[in-house]
Homo-oligomer: A and B are copies of this chain.
Amino acid sequence: MLSSMHPHDGPLTRLRRGHEQSVLELLRKYGPLSRAELGTRSGLSRTTLYDIVAGLVTSRAVVVGTPYIEARKRGRPMEKLSLNPAAGEAVGIDFARRAVHVAAVNLAHEVVGSASEGHAADLSWPERVDIAVQLLDSLTTGARGESAAGGSGRAQAVHLGALRAIGVGVVGPTTDPGSESAHAQGIDGLPDLLRKRFGVPVLLDNNTRLAALAEAVWGAAADSSDVLYLRLSHGVGGGLVVGGALHRGRHGLSGEFGHITVDPAGERCECGGTGCLETLASLDAVLRRYRAAGGRADSPARFLAAATAADPTALEVLARVGGEVGGVLAAICHAVGPGVIVVGGELAQAGDALLEPVERALRQHLMPLARHHVDVRRATLGEAGSALGGIALVLHETPLLTHYPQPVSEENA
């Protein structure tokens, strides 16, 4: 992502970024340092160091101050450089189908606030962006994120004055806001809208993939760097985290677990395929199967209530669904070899009634050598997951992006 923002960087620009990064790391590690101390520790020449520091101060990543004890001495007081406490924050926004979720972290990468608000599915992008801005404003003033009915939030004051970048989740398979698929989804104007409102670079990705990254950073798989995340909701999808980084695939089409064929003679899927996992394991498919088996429920929520109450028909349906899901997961495990599988989405609320048959089928289909090398866990981050994933994206993919106040130009977005 960084390289795509700076496609024409030469080795000398990279060298400069490396020096900036060294200076920032030293300030992070040792706290405030004078230019002389930075020179000794960084190994940079005086000329290079002064040049690098000037750039960092201009971009507000670093601030200059004179400690009280120094100011009292005679002669020219010694200046100390330190990280700008208002800098480096990141926010994540998830534009889900019918809700906007936001979250923010401080310089220590602690989550300091999150908020959500529901909306109609046909709300325009400018209106959705307005909701995101209001929710974020509510976080910065320390107010609860309840700018409209249905809003909810937990927040403490957070300064967004020197945002590094914004990580944004959207529905659908895209990483490239300028691409055809972005256009087809009608989100091609979104990055522009956000850049105009916040004046910082915008990183865009599929929101289910971002939820995968968030579970690997802050959630159920925070101890693992190779994670398979499966989301069983109105749709079925997921994401892969490989070596701690979000895996995207060549054309942004990865984690499409819902469209793996399970039954070649099965039902037609929305994607155009036949017998995809989504036709068997989405919330609606599971509800349909439950009713076909004689169960009575008129909504996914009631089906989940029946499953929680150990209704035998519901458990039987979940056992079948779990078997199919486990078979697909085994195939992906053979290919990819994750250490942890995280199952999220509303259907995961069924708990062990779903997860036990998933694990059983998984181990049955895995080659013996691989059987004890993967854990199955329920997702822990809930609806804020994708917004948190947007933050993780910013923290992972813009480590050298110190000149954040400059908006990214059109060509490089």
A261 within 8 A of B: yes
> When the two chains form their complex, are residues A330 and B250 in contact, meaning their CB atoms are under 8 A apart?
no
- Alpha-carbon distance between A330 and B264 when the two chains are bound, in angstroms: 12
> When the two chains form their complex, are residues B369 and A173 in contact, meaning their CB atoms are under 8 A apart?
yes
> When the two chains form their complex, are residues B224 and A337 in contact, meaning their CB atoms are under 8 A apart?
no
A331 within 8 A of B: yes
> When the two chains form their complex, are residues B337 and A335 in contact, meaning their CB atoms are under 8 A apart?
no
Contacts of A276 in B (CB 8 A): 367
Contacts of A46 in B (CB 8 A): 45
**Distance from A189 Cβ to chain B, minimum over Cβ atoms (Å):** 21
> When the two chains form their complex, are residues B44 and A335 in contact, meaning their CB atoms are under 8 A apart?
no
Asked if A261 meets B11 with Cβ closer than 8 Å, knowing A252-B337, A336-B336, the reply is: no
Contact of A337 among B18, B254, B260 (CB under 8 A): B254
> When the two chains form their complex, are residues B247 and A367 in contact, meaning their CB atoms are under 8 A apart?
no
Contacts of A332 in B (CB 8 A): 331-332, 335
Asked if A240 meets B335 with Cβ closer than 8 Å, knowing A15-B22, A251-B373, A261-B365, the reply is: yes
- Alpha-carbon distance between A242 and B374 when the two chains are bound, in angstroms: 21
> When the two chains form their complex, are residues B15 and A43 in contact, meaning their CB atoms are under 8 A apart?
yes
Contacts of A250 in B (CB 8 A): 224-226, 337-340, 373-374
Number of interface residues of A (CB under 8 A): 65
- Alpha-carbon distance between A44 and B254 when the two chains are bound, in angstroms: 43
A327 within 8 A of B: yes
Contacts of A374 in B (CB 8 A): 250
- Mark A residues whose CB is within 8 Å of B: 11-12, 15, 18-19, 22, 25-26, 29, 39, 41-48, 173, 181, 224-226, 240, 242, 247-257, 259-261, 264, 269, 271-273, 276, 327-328, 330-332, 334-340, 365-370, 373-374
Task: Give 7 A-B pairs besides A259-B367, A259-B370, A261-B365 with Cβ atoms closer than 8 angstroms.
Answer: A18-B18, A181-B369, A224-B250, A253-B369, A253-B370, A255-B335, A261-B330
Q: Which A-B residue pairs are the 7 nearest by beta carbons?
A: A249-B337, A250-B339, A43-B48, A254-B337, A226-B250, A271-B367, A272-B368
